[in-house]
């Protein structure tokens, strides 16, 4: 730790200032949350508030949705680009929701930017962003699964002035209301965002009044310097080197099971890092990542995994370089690429890739605090549907957007704990899951069950969080139309440090069911009594139709595991089995734990089973024992220029080479391997299958790493400590 000394101010003054600015942003957030009517805001907490200075540099961020760290900056920059600053008056406000022109994550996340004036001059900017219930266009609630270009997706505002004197302009209000579904809620949410900015505007003016513009500016700068230094301290604890990972974005909405490769390289050099992203040419469906989503989701993982206690402001950006490569790729998309799932498709793969590369670097760190940040990938499958219809009880428009369904995914396994349930997506800090009774009030249907799905959490020393199985029946609309989505059907989330992958998501639609009949004749609608048709369909459905009596049933994915499951404490496995989180079979096959009749671990049988699994992993009896004090979460270390298995000390080749070359590798089709593990993933029916590659130490048979990849592709890249090897600037992957 370096000691911070602000140049001209007592650091306590800086801290007081920082806290009071942050307090203002929180007050803006409270105003928005209390006044909004949309469960997307009040429960899912899909919103954020930011304050920026007159240079459009961030001063604070009170977000729940961490990817808005980037959109706040891009939104204010867009306002300044589009509007001569001398024309901007107090009470003006601008709307920004276009990923291509005004810095939005996707069109559904609408930013309202308003200037903060003091003494007749702009001293800063307020930025409030919320996911609105609808933004018009072909999509319901902004997810345009069928769009071929951004023009057919939704309304897209390029930082235009729609607010005068602190109020939504009447003409614009009429225009927006005329173009969106559920216009009442949408207009009210825009009003709430204006109210939040108005609160910020008053508080900042009072603050500047009290301390003067010069001191305000100077304290802002010192605050940024402090955050910059903290960020640099964290980066310094990561070993210099190049860390790389690869993953595939999924889209099968037009029948073809597309997988689109993207790559990330983390280059650590002293107290600075570069994050490089590369992908193939942008595509004509909504998965493309534009700059705001790619950089925004980078901040999500940076904050969750590494920089969780650093106050967010422009200082944290300074030691980090984002390199998105050439424009026109799926990690750096430009118009006319469709982008309504920018944050969820390419964006959430970015979270997973960063979990990989940060964990690689953390696992080699000698700093215990940083080494403890190794984590698996979380499930964060966003598997849900949105649909629009007419409520048969009152003839009013109705929207189905069951929020709880999108949240009940398993969290990452971490060094301090098993993963949590209802982790949602990594970017959704503080989100709540709506109660069943509230869902049955706001949605035109009934929730039949909401249960933890057994064996969905990846096995490891710490287990991945579990997915949840939820079934919702439509009861109050004869027919609803919209889209159904998932981002994680074919490629399950990976474990780390030798942990196993978690389950992917799966969903089905029951049609022509006996549900209405059961409800009318007082029969409990349990899963095993439901009859009907379950058509085989794509994971993403562009023209989703759900009728009265149909049942949407989703089983969410789980987080990956962390560390070799053979080293999980048997008592924890026994308790997982007793709780129904893990089946007997998986306890035996993945964890090597055999339970006696009383449900407790049978130590002798467990020891034998664990030895048998080790022998099976490498095809022979291990030649070395795992040391009792071997680390649980860092299977590899470099020693004297060579890789070494930290579990037994076996050498694994020179550090210049990929350690995987020295491991015993078993490649299995992921669908058949997951069937053995009771886990869930869609089998890919066309092209190369998705495979699971288990890499084990040739001497002690410890699990060193479990990869998910496409059959026929090269091994995943290894860690390269001490090497600074960036991607070429113009690199574009094969599509």
Partner 1 sequence: MALDTIEGEYAIGVDVGGTHTDLIMSTPDRLVRSKAFTTHGNYSEGILRAIDLAAAQIDMTAQEVLPRCRAFVNGSTIVTNAITELRGAKVGVLITRGFKDTFRLAGGARTQDYDDHLQIPPPEVVERDCVVEVTERVDSAGRIIVGIDDDEVRAGIRTLKANGAEAIAVCFLWSFQNPANELRAGELLHEEFAEAFVTMSHDAHPVIGEFPRFMTAVFNCLSHRATTRYIDGLKTELGKAGFKGAMTFFQGIGGSIGIEAVERKPITLMQSGPAGGVMGARQIAEKLGIRNVLVGDMGGTSFDTAVLANLTPTVAHEAAFGAYRTGINILDIVSVGAGGGSIAWLDGRGVPQVGPHSAGSEPGPACYGRGGMRPTVTDANVVLGLIDPANYLKGAHQLDVDAARAAIDAHIATPLGWTVDRAAAAIFDLAVIEMANALRMVSVERGYHPRDFTFFSYGGGLGLFAVEICRRLGCPTIVVPDNCAAFSAYGVLTADYVRQYNRTVNWTLDDPSGVEAVNAALAEMQAQARADAQSEGIDLAALEIEPAGEFRFLGQVHQVSRPLPNRPFTAEDAARLAEEFPAVYETNYGEGTAWKGSSVVLVNISIKAVFRREKPAGREQEPVAGGPPPKPQALRRIYQPFLREHAEVPVYADAALPPGTAIAGPCIVDVGDTTLYIPSGATCTRDRYFNFSLALNA
Q: Which residues, numbered 231-250, are part of the site for partner 1 (CB under 8 A)? A: 233-234
Interface with partner 1 in residues 645-664 (CB under 8 A): none
Does the footprint of partner 1 cover residue 519 (CB under 8 A)? yes
- Find the shortest distance in angstroms from Cβ 408 to partner 1: 7
Is position 558 an interface residue for partner 1 (rule: CB under 8 A)? Answer: no
Residue 571 binds to partner 1 (criterion: CB under 8 A): no
* Of 153, 247, 261, 421, the one binding partner 1 by CB under 8 A: 421
CA dist., res. 94 & res. 77, Å (int): 12
Which of 48, 66, 329, 363 binds partner 1 (CB under 8 A)? It is: 66
Q: Which stretch binds partner 1 (CB under 8 A): 253-261, 532-540, 576-584, 647-655?
A: 576-584
Which CB sits closer to partner 1, 147 or 303? 303
Kindly tell me the burial class for residue 657, based on how many C-beta atoms sit within 10 Å of its own C-beta (0-12, 13-18, 19 or more). middle
Q: How far apart are CA 705 and CA 672, in angstroms?
A: 19
Q: Which of 83, 158, 172, 191 binds partner 1 (CB under 8 A)?
A: 191
Q: According to the binding rule CB under 8 A, does residue 448 interact with partner 1?
A: yes
Member of 437, 629, 730, 734 binding partner 1 (CB under 8 A): 437
Size of the site for partner 1 (CB under 8 A): 99
104 cis-preceded (ω within 30 degrees of 0): no
What is the spatial distance between Cα 37 and Cα 44, in angstroms, rounded to a whole number? 12
Element (H, E) at 96: strand 93-96
Looking at residues 143 to 182 of the shown chain, list those that interact with partner 1 (rule: CB under 8 A): 166-167
Kindly indicate which of the ranges 359-367, 444-452, 605-613, 706-714 contains the residues binding partner 1, using the contact rule CB under 8 A: 444-452
- Please name which of 67, 105, 108 lies closest in space to residue 297, comparing C-alpha atoms: 67
> Which of 161, 224, 229, 349 lies at the binding interface for partner 1 (CB under 8 A)?
229
542 interacts with partner 1 by CB under 8 A: no
Q: Footprint of partner 1 on residues 459-498 (CB under 8 A)?
A: 465, 468
Closest to partner 1 by CB, 446 vs 699, is 446
Beta strands in 344-486 (DSSP E): 384-391, 397-400, 445-452, 468-474, 477-485
Cβ 77 to partner 1 shortest distance, Å: 24
Say whether residue 685 binds partner 1 (CB under 8 A): no
Interaction of residue 412 with partner 1, rule CB under 8 A? yes
- 409 makes contact with partner 1 (CB under 8 A): no
Residue 428 binds to partner 1 (criterion: CB under 8 A): yes
Q: Which of residues 366-385 bind partner 1 (CB under 8 A)?
A: 372-373, 375
Restricting to residues 274-313, name those near partner 1 by CB under 8 A.
303-305, 307-310
Instruction: CB nearer to partner 1: give 36 or 540.
Output: 36
* Cβ within 8 Å of residue 395, ≥6 positions away: none
- Rounded-to-integer distance, Cα 414 and Cα 425, Å: 16
Residue 514 touches partner 1, criterion: CB under 8 A:
no
Task: List the one residue out of 43, 5, 86, 703 whose CA is nearest residue 424.
Answer: 43
Task: Please report whether residue 669 would count as binding partner 1 according to CB under 8 A.
Answer: no
Distance CA 548, CA 306 (A): 47
Q: What's the N-to-C CA distance of the chain in angstroms? A: 44
Q: Enter the DSSP assignment of 724.
A: -
Asked whether 373 and 306 are in contact (CB, 8 A), the reply is: yes
Contacts of 392 (CB under 8 A, 6+ apart): 476, 477, 478, 548
**Cα torsion 352, 422, 684, 508: sign:** negative
Query: Does 42 sit near partner 1 (CB under 8 A)?
Result: yes
């Amino acid at each position: 730790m370096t000691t911070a000394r602000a140049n001209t101010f007592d650091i306590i003054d800086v801290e007081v200032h920082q806290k009071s600015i942050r307090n203002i942003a929180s007050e803006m957030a409270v105003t928005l949350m209390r006044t909004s009517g949309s469960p997307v805001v009040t429960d899912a907490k899909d919103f954020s508030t930011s304050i920026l200075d007159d240079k459009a540099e961030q001063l604070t961020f009170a977000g729940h949705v961490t990817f808005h760290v980037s959109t706040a900056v891009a939104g204010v920059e867009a306002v300044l680009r589009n509007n001569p600053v001398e024309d901007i008056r107090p009470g003006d406000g601008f709307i920004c929701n276009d990923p291509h022109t005004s810095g939005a994550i996707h069109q559904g996340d609408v930013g309202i930017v308003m200037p903060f004036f003091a003494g007749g001059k702009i001293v800063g900017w307020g930025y409030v962003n919320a996911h609105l219930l609808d933004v018009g266009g072909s999509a319901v609630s902004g997810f345009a699964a069928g769009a071929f270009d951004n023009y057919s997706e939704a309304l897209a505002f390029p930082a235009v002035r729609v607010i005068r004197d602190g109020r939504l302009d009447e003409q614009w209000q009429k225009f927006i209301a005329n173009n969106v579904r559920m216009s009442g809620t949408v207009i009210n949410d825009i009003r709430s965002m204006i109210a939040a900015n108005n609160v910020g505007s008053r508080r900042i003016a009072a603050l500047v009044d009290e301390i003067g513009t010069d001191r305000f500016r100077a304290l802002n700068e010192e605050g940024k310097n402090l955050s910059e230094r903290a960020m640099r301290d964290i980066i310094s604890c990561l070993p210099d080197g190049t860390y790389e990972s690869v993953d595939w974005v999924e889209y099968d909405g037009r029948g073809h099971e597309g997988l689109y490769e993207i790559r990330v390289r983390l280059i650590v050099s002293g107290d600075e890092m570069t994050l490089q992203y590369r992908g193939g040419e942008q595509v004509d469906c909504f998965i493309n990542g534009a700059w705001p989503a790619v950089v925004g989701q980078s901040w999500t993982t940076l904050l969750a995994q590494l920089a969780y206690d650093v106050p967010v402001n422009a200082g944290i950006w300074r030691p980090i370089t984002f390199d998105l490569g050439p424009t026109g790729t799926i990690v750096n998309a430009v118009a006319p690429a469709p982008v309504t799932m920018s944050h969820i498709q390419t964006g959430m793969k970015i979270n997973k890739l960063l979990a990989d590369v940060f964990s690689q670097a953390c696992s080699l760190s000698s700093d215990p605090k940083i080494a403890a940040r190794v984590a698996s990938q979380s499930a964060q499958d966003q598997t849900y549907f949105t649909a629009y219809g007419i409520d048969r009880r009152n003839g009013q428009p109705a929207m189905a957007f069951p929020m709880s369904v999108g949240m009940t995914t398993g969290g990452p396994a971490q060094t301090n704990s098993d993963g949590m349930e209802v982790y949602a997506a990594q970017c959704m800090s503080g989100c709540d899951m709506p109660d069943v009774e509230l869902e049955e009030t706001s949605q035109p249907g009934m929730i039949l069950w909401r249960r933890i799905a057994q064996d969905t959490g990846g096995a490891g020393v710490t287990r991945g969080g579990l997915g949840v199985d939820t079934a919702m029946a439509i009861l109050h609309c004869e027919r609803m139309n919209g889209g159904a989505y998932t981002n994680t059907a074919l490629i399950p989330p990976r474990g780390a440090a030798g942990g196993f992958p978690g389950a992917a998501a799966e969903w089905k639609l029951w049609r022509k069911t006996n549900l209405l009949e059961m409800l009318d004749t007082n029969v409990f609608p349990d899963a095993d009594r439901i009859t009907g048709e379950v058509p085989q369909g794509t994971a993403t459905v562009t023209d989703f139709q759900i009728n009265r009596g149909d049942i949407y049933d989703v089983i969410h994915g789980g987080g990956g595991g962390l560390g070799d499951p053979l080293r999980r404490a048997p008592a924890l496995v026994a308790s997982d089995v007793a709780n129904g989180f893990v089946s007997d079979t998986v306890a035996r096959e993945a964890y090597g734990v055999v339970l006696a009749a009383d449900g407790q671990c049978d130590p002798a049988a467990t020891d034998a089973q664990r030895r048998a699994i080790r022998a099976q992993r490498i095809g022979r009896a291990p030649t070395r024992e795992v040391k009792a004090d071997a680390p649980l979460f860092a299977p590899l270390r470099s020693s004297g220029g060579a890789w070494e298995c930290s579990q037994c000390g076996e050498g694994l080749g020179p550090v210049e080479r990929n350690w995987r070359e020295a491991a015993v590798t078993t490649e299995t089709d992921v669908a058949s391997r997951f069937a053995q593990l009771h886990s869930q993933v869609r089998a890919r029916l066309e092209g190369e299958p998705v495979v699971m590659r288990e890499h084990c130490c040739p001497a002690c048979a410890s699990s060193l790493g479990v990869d998910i990849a496409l059959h026929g592709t090269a091994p995943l890249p290894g860690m390269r400590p001490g090497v600074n090897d960036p991607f070429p600037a113009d690199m574009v992957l094969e599509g």
